[in-house]
Amino acid sequence: MAASLDGKVAIVTGAGKGIGRAVAEAYGAAGATVVVSDLDGAAAEAVATGIDGATANTCDVTDEGQVKALIDGTVDTHGGLHVLVPNAGIARVQPLLEKSLEDWRAVMSVNLDGVFLCTRHGAPAIIASGGGAIVNICSITAFAGSPLVGDYAAAKAGVLSLTKTTAVELRDHGVRANAICPGFIDTDLVTANAEKFESALGLPAGGFDEVIAQKQGRYGNVEEVASLAVFLASERSSFSTGSAFVLDGGADASLL
Ligand SMILES: NC(=O)c1ccc[n+]([C@@H]2O[C@H](COP(=O)([O-])OP(=O)(O)OC[C@H]3O[C@@H](n4cnc5c(N)ncnc54)[C@H](O)[C@@H]3O)[C@@H](O)[C@H]2O)c1
The ligand 1 atom nearest the CA atom of 182: 6
Residue nearest to atom 32 of ligand 1 (CA): 60
- Answer for the pair 87, 15: CB distance below 8 angstroms, yes or no: yes
What does the pLDDT read at residue 255? 85
What does the pLDDT read at residue 156? 98
Domain ranges of the chain: 9-183+220-240, 188-219
**Residue 70 CB-half CA count within 13 A:** 36
- Answer for the pair 245, 176: CB distance below 8 angstroms, yes or no: no
Using most ligand atoms within 8 A of CB, pick from 11, 12, 25, 39 the residue to mutate for ligand 1.
Answer: 39
What does the pLDDT read at residue 210? 96
Residue nearest to atom 43 of ligand 1 (CA): 89
Q: Which CATH architecture has domain 9-183+220-240?
A: 3-Layer(aba) Sandwich (3.40)
Q: Which residue positions in the chain have pLDDT lower than 50?
A: none
DSSP E strands: which ranges in 123-199? Answer: 132-137, 175-182
| Residues with a CB atom less than 6 Å from ligand 1 | 13-14, 16-20, 38-40, 43, 59-62, 87-90, 110, 137, 139, 182, 184-185, 187-190
Closest by CA to 193, choosing from 88, 89, 92, is 92
Separation of CA 68 and ligand 1 centre (Å): 20
Using most ligand atoms within 8 A of CB, pick from 11, 62, 63, 90 the residue to mutate for ligand 1.
Answer: 90
- Tens of pLDDT, residue by residue over 159-215, are 999 999 999 999 999 999 999 999 999 999 999 999 999 998 899 999 999 999 999
Separation of CA 159 and ligand 1 centre (Å): 14
Q: With a threshold of 0.85, does the pTM exceed it?
A: yes
Residue nearest to atom 41 of ligand 1 (CA): 89
Residue nearest to atom 31 of ligand 1 (CA): 60
Q: What is the DSSP letter of 34?
A: E
Separation of CA 28 and ligand 1 centre (Å): 19
Catalytic (active-site) positions: 152
- Answer for the pair 15, 27: CB distance below 8 angstroms, yes or no: no
- Tens of pLDDT, residue by residue over 21-37, are 999 999 999 999 999 99
| CB atoms near residue 219 (< 10 Å) | 18
Separation of CA 132 and ligand 1 centre (Å): 23
What does the pLDDT read at residue 2? 55
* Alpha-carbon span 234 to 255, nearest angstrom: 34
Separation of CA 6 and ligand 1 centre (Å): 26
